[in-house]
Homo-oligomer: A and B are copies of this chain.
């Protein structure tokens, strides 16, 4: 699948777009107009981009607190996302959710939430619903290495395996939960080995290599869709910036400068660009054009957000309960 230059360029574009969007968010965060916690995935873009390349629009994705990349890669509306961070009525949640609560159901992005592990079983539930309704969409959950410590993971692994559900788990192992390294939270054994013991098919790869990620995801998605049961993908990756917020965080000293530098060295975006150029799959000019297109799009998104109406305090009292149409009779 990823073998065609077009696909490679598409995945490069998807990554670059996430990167530039988040850089723009980071730049403007200090203006104090995006007033909500914000977890950037800069450095981790290849996972979102690579996995979503392998998905259909009707495959449903659930995500976590670090959701921008997943949302964008799955086709979530950029304007609505930026507006959401600015708390505007045009935000994807009308301002109710902020950075940690994104949704674009038309794009198959069903929601991201702020409780670690909270959406993992929901993706399994989606896959179960697909099975019970004889549909062939997949349920997909993105989550981190820290999330893997939650009991609900075990329960989700068990049920999905029991029913051999068409579900993909994508574990983004960036070695940290907030500032706590994996070694202070989990024993030295591979995360995916546990999924395997639950009867899942498992995959591992370098989360900095979008091509590898997409290839794995493609295989895994095919298998899941073909009824071969749940698929677990564990990918190594690195978070460049602070856990929450716009900045780099060398000064916090919970990881070494050397480690950070090595992490950045594996930049998935640069790597992809180097390959495209090095193997003559794209010209500098065409990649610059992509860069430019993204810049324009981002600019428009911020303009859209900033020119969107502000919600009122009174709006907050609505939509507490769903209207129950079907109760009408």
* A:158-204 near B, CB below 8 Å: 158, 161-162, 164, 185-189, 193-194, 196-199
Name the B residues within 8 Å of A150 (CB-CB).
Answer: 151, 155
Question: Once the chains bind, are B197 and A193 in contact (CB under 8 Å)?
Answer: yes
Name the B residues within 8 Å of A162 (CB-CB).
Answer: 185-187
One of B153, B155, B161, B187 near A198 (C-beta < 8 A): B187
> Whose C-beta in chain B lies nearest to the C-beta of A121?
B151
Name the B residues within 8 Å of A198 (CB-CB).
Answer: 187, 189, 194
Shortest CB–CB separation between residue A1 and chain B, in angstroms?
A: 29
Name the B residues within 8 Å of A196 (CB-CB).
Answer: 197
Name the B residues within 8 Å of A194 (CB-CB).
Answer: 154, 194, 197-198
Q: Interface code A278-317, partner B: CB below 8 Å = 1, 0 otherwise?
A: 0000000000000000000000000000000000000000
Q: Is A149 close to B, CB under 8 A?
A: yes
One of B152, B161, B189 near A199 (C-beta < 8 A): B189
One of B151, B153, B161, B187 near A189 (C-beta < 8 A): B161
> Whose C-beta in chain B lies nearest to the C-beta of A229?
B187
Shortest CB–CB separation between residue A119 and chain B, in angstroms?
A: 15
Name the B residues within 8 Å of A193 (CB-CB).
Answer: 197
Q: How far is the CA of A151 from the CA of B159 in the complex (A)?
A: 12
Shortest CB–CB separation between residue A316 and chain B, in angstroms?
A: 34
Q: How far is the CA of A193 from the CA of B186 in the complex (A)?
A: 17
Name the B residues within 8 Å of A185 (CB-CB).
Answer: 158, 162
Q: How far is the CA of A197 from the CA of B234 in the complex (A)?
A: 15
> Whose C-beta in chain B lies nearest to the C-beta of A188?
B199
Shortest CB–CB separation between residue A180 and chain B, in angstroms?
A: 12
25 chain-A/chain-B pairs, Cβ below 8 angstroms: A149-B155, A149-B158, A150-B151, A150-B155, A151-B151, A151-B152, A151-B153, A151-B154, A151-B155, A154-B154, A154-B155, A154-B194, A158-B186, A158-B187, A161-B189, A162-B185, A164-B187, A187-B199, A188-B199, A189-B199, A193-B197, A194-B194, A194-B197, A194-B198, A196-B197
List of 9 A-B pairs having minimum Cβ-Cβ separation, nearest first: A151-B151, A154-B154, A197-B197, A161-B187, A193-B197, A187-B199, A194-B197, A189-B199, A162-B187
Q: A151-B151, A158-B185, A161-B189 are in contact. List 5 more A-B contacts (CB 8 A).
A: A150-B151, A151-B155, A153-B154, A162-B186, A196-B197
